[in-house]
């Protein structure tokens, strides 16, 4: 499944499940599905593209070890740098459940988020948008 999230000029931002089978990263299938989605939504597709894959797994945790498809993507782009790259941006969320906190604390946490957020999630959207 491929979902078109946004476009900037001739660049597309897609969201998808991991495009893998039991042994490899399915680059050609992913590109085919992205092209179909873009064309179905009325966009012109350029077959001369460079794919930027964003991974949000924690690289220093068991999560990464348990999801070997990430290494398949890394290997694919290491062998095929002309086809794109993989960009790691670790997201871990928060241990706080803000809805359980008083409103004045939630407001203060929202205002100071960039100072206490260890995963820097507030930087993600501007970075992706810049990359587009």
* Per-residue model confidence as pLDDT tens digits over 6-34: 888 888 989 888 788 888 889 999 999 99
Name the β-bridge partners of 6: 13
Can you give the pLDDT at residue 9? 83
- pLDDT tens string 47-88: 988 899 888 766 555 444 445 567 888 889 999 999 999 887
Task: Give the predicted TM-score (pTM) of the model.
Answer: 0.71
SS3 string, 39-85, reads HHCCCCCCCCCCEEEEECCCCCCHHHHHCCHHHHHHHHHHHCHHHEE
Can you give the pLDDT at residue 83? 94
Can you give the pLDDT at residue 84? 93
């Amino acid at each position: 499944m491929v979902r078109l999230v946004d476009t900037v000029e001739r660049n597309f931002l897609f969201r998808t499940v991991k495009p893998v089978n039991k042994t490899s990263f399915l680059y050609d299938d992913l590109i085919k599905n992205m092209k179909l989605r873009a064309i179905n939504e009325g966009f012109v597709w350029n077959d001369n593209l460079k794919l930027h894959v964003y991974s949000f797994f924690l690289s220093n945790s068991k999560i990464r070890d348990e999801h070997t498809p990430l290494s398949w993507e890394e290997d694919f782009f290491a062998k095929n740098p002309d086809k794109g790259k993989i960009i790691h941006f670790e997201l871990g969320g928060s241990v706080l459940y803000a809805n359980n906190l008083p409103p004045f604390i939630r407001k203060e946490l929202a205002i100071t988020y960039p100072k206490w957020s260890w995963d820097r999630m507030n930087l993600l959207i501007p970075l992706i948008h810049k990359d587009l």
